[in-house]
Amino acid sequence: MVGTSWSIINLNKEKMKNISKLIIVFALANIVFVACKKDNYIIGGKLENATTTLSTYDYLKNNRYKMFDTLLLVIDKAGLKDVINAKGITFYAPTDFSINNYLQAKTIAAQKNNPFARYSIDTLIKYDLNTFKDSLNTYIIPQKIIASSLTESGVVFNTAKNGSQAVISYEQTFDTNLGYTSAVSTAPRIEYYTFIKGHLPPVVVASQIPDTVGVRVLCQTSGLTTSTGQLNVLSNSHVLFFKH
């Protein structure tokens, strides 16, 4: 490890207020609207087929809950704005919480050797920017992913990182926290992104991929079409770089 004067990133009070508001928004959004079309369901807090005139980068930058400030800081430092704005890609965006989870894990690991060590966002930028540049590609599928192209068991895709794959599935949920209600006859569907770190079995069932083979992450927001591509947002519990 390098130095001991690192300070871990802290989520300020304003951001915690924002995430509390976000939880309320998602809770309200999880109501299934009674409408003529039976497929008018909420997916992870967002309606299907949502669109924005903003680019992927600008949409993240203008997010009202400020959940991507740290992500965009590192993207800017790494010069990767054009990468996530590339035409026709799908970006599975980690939130600032995912980055914070990673920094905490790195700090805990460092403190095994030095109890005063801290691993901060400044540490990542100073020493591990090349790692970030390479690993960000695991969050990018170099094509547009739409719900109709996915299955319950999952579809295997190559990521933008050379030699790596992900299984993306579109699964029914009976979890009331994710939009299910007994008031309708058809359960809503939720998208999952499973990054593959081992060898896939001959028959792939996304929900049955063991932790030794893949890291499975819920998409808390999915199906957003930006002016440059597709955008999905991974769960806040995710750890950056798919670390456990």
2 domain residue, yes or no? no
The overall average pLDDT reported for the chain is 84
85 domain residue, yes or no? yes
Question: Please, which pLDDT band fits residue 186 given cuts at 50, 70 and 90?
Answer: confident
Q: What do you get for the CA distance between the two ends of the chain, in Å? A: 20
pLDDT digits (tens, 9 = 90+) for 126-162: 999 999 999 999 999 999 999 889 999 999 999 999 9
4 domain residue, yes or no? no
Percent of the chain topping pLDDT 70: 80
CA nearest 3: which of 118, 128, 121?
118
6 domain residue, yes or no? no
The CATH number linked to 44 is 2.30.180.10
The whole domain housing 84 covers 13-242
Residue 179 has pLDDT above 50, yes or no: yes
Domains in the chain, number: 1
pLDDT digits (tens, 9 = 90+) for 67-99: 999 999 999 999 999 999 999 999 999 999 999
Question: Which tokens go with 132?
Answer: 């970030």
In this prediction, residues 3-18 reach a mean pLDDT of 43
